[in-house]
Amino acid sequence: MNPYVKLDVVNRIGTIEFFHPQSNSLPGEILQKLADTITESGNNDEIMVVILKSGGNRVFCAGASFDELMAIENEVEGKQFFSGFAKVINAARKCPKFIIGRVQGKAVGGGVGMASATDYCFATKFSSIKLSELAIGIGPFVVGPPIERKIGSSAFSQLTINATEWHSAEWAREKGLFAEVYDSTEKMDIAIQALSEKLAASNPDSMQGLKKVIWDGTDHWDSLLLERAAMSGTRVLSEFTKKTLEKLNKR
Residue 249 is predicted with a pLDDT of: 73
Three-class secondary structure of residue 29 per DSSP: helix
pTM: 0.96
Going along the chain from its start, the domains and CATH numbers come out as 4-200 (3.90.226.10)
| Contact in structure between 213 and 189 (CB atoms under 8 Å) | no
| DSSP code of residue 65 | -
For residue 13, the cross-strand partners are 10, 49
Q: Mean pLDDT for the chain?
A: 96
The mean per-residue pLDDT over the stretch 136-152 comes to 97
Instruction: Identify the burial level of 43 via C-beta atoms within 10 angstroms of its C-beta, where 0-12 means exposed, 13-18 middle and 19 or more buried.
Output: exposed
Over the stretch 60-85, which tens digit does the pLDDT of each residue have? 999 998 889 999 999 999 999 999 99
Q: Are strands 49-54 and 13-19 parallel, antiparallel or unpaired?
A: parallel
Between 11-25, 56-70, 81-95, the lowest mean confidence (pLDDT) is in: 56-70
Determine the pLDDT at residue 205. 97
